[in-house]
């Protein structure tokens, strides 16, 4: 039996489109986990990355942190947090997802600010602009495409990895994969994997659209 047969079996099954185990409901769960993890990671990574990039401090420490964070096995961290916290719930699932997303946001934001041409920055300071004004009115607008790139990378990783939440009895598209493997229902496994891949591609499209809306045309042409 080939993949196309499994996909046809999965998506033609009316039971997969209704109720608690339906695709719309699982999509909302998956989006909820991903959005919460990305929001927490952005709240941590963006301010630190902006500050370190603007001041030029902490670059080595950020690189070391990012290397360590990327080396963490998400599934292993999920199991560890579940055992440590002694509960099956959203909190143990959020910790590995946030740890996964913080690194690209933090490092990319730092490098984006550091890569801004110093000429307009020096001109802004010469005009008497405050440090915060220089950061948010000069550096951030120029660095925005790269900053969004870091957020996009983090979002794709989170969306793809949020499937592990199903291992500790949460929902999302990972539910199809975990339950399908347990019951040898491989149509569910293939369908769940395709849904996750499709959501990752949709995430790329979403950030492309955001970039078109918020990045200045002049900055886009210079990228």
pLDDT for residue 6 is more than 60: yes
The span from the CA of 54 to the CA of 51, in Å, is: 5
pLDDT for 1? 59
pLDDT for residue 35 is more than 70: yes
Domain ranges across the chain? 3-222
pLDDT for residue 151 is more than 80: yes
Average pLDDT, stretch 130-155? 93
pLDDT for 222? 57
Average pLDDT, stretch 15-36? 94
pLDDT in tens, 190-211: 999 999 999 999 999 999 999 9
pLDDT for 57? 81
Contacts of 140 (CB under 8 A, 6+ apart): 50, 113, 147
Average pLDDT, stretch 180-191? 94
pLDDT over 90, % of the chain: 61
> Per-residue confidence at 45, pLDDT binned at 50, 70, 90?
very high
Rounded alpha-carbon distances, angstroms, from residue 151 to 7, 35, 91, 125: 31, 12, 22, 28
Range of weakest confidence among 85-89, 90-94, 137-141, 151-155 = 85-89
* Helix (H), strand (E) counts: the chain: 11, 0
**Chain mean pLDDT for the chain:** 89
pLDDT for 80? 81
Average pLDDT, stretch 61-65? 77
pLDDT for residue 65 is more than 80: no
The span from the CA of 216 to the CA of 67, in Å, is: 32
Range of weakest confidence among 16-30, 71-85, 101-115, 132-146 = 71-85
Instruction: Tell me which DSSP letter residue 12 carries.
Output: T
Q: Beta strands of 2-119 (E only): which ranges?
A: none
> Per-residue confidence at 223, pLDDT binned at 50, 70, 90?
low
> Per-residue confidence at 183, pLDDT binned at 50, 70, 90?
very high
Residue of 97, 38, 99 lying closest to 66 (CA atoms): 99
Report which secondary-structure segment, H or E, holds 143.
helix 140-161
pLDDT over 70, % of the chain: 97
Residue 34 in 3-state DSSP?
helix
pLDDT for residue 87 is more than 90: no
- Please identify, in words, the CATH class of the domain defined by 3-222: mainly alpha
DSSP percent split of the chain into helix, strand, coil, nearest 5: 85, 0, 15
């Amino acid at each position: 039996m080939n993949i196309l047969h499994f996909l046809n079996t999965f998506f033609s099954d009316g039971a997969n489109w209704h109720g608690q185990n339906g695709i719309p409901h699982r999509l909302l769960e998956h989006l909820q986990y991903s959005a919460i993890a990305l929001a927490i990671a952005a709240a941590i990574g963006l301010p630190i990355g902006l500050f370190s990039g603007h001041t030029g401090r902490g670059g080595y420490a950020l690189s070391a942190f990012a290397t360590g964070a990327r080396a963490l096995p998400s599934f292993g961290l999920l199991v560890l947090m579940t055992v440590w916290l002694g509960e099956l719930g959203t909190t143990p699932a959020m910790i590995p997802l946030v740890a996964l997303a913080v690194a690209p946001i933090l490092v990319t934001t730092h490098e984006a600010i550091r890569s801004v041409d110093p000429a307009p920055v020096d001109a802004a300071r010469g005009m008497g602009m405050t440090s915060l004004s220089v950061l948010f009115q000069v550096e951030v607008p120029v660095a925005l495409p790269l900053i969004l790139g870091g957020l996009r990378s983090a979002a794709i990783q989170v969306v793809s990895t949020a499937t592990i939440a199903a291992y500790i009895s949460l929902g999302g598209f990972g539910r199809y994969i975990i339950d399908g493997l347990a019951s040898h229902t491989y149509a569910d496994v293939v369908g769940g994997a395709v849904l996750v891949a499709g959501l990752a591609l949709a995430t790329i499209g979403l950030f492309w659209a955001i970039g078109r809306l918020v990045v200045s045309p002049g900055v886009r042409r210079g990228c």
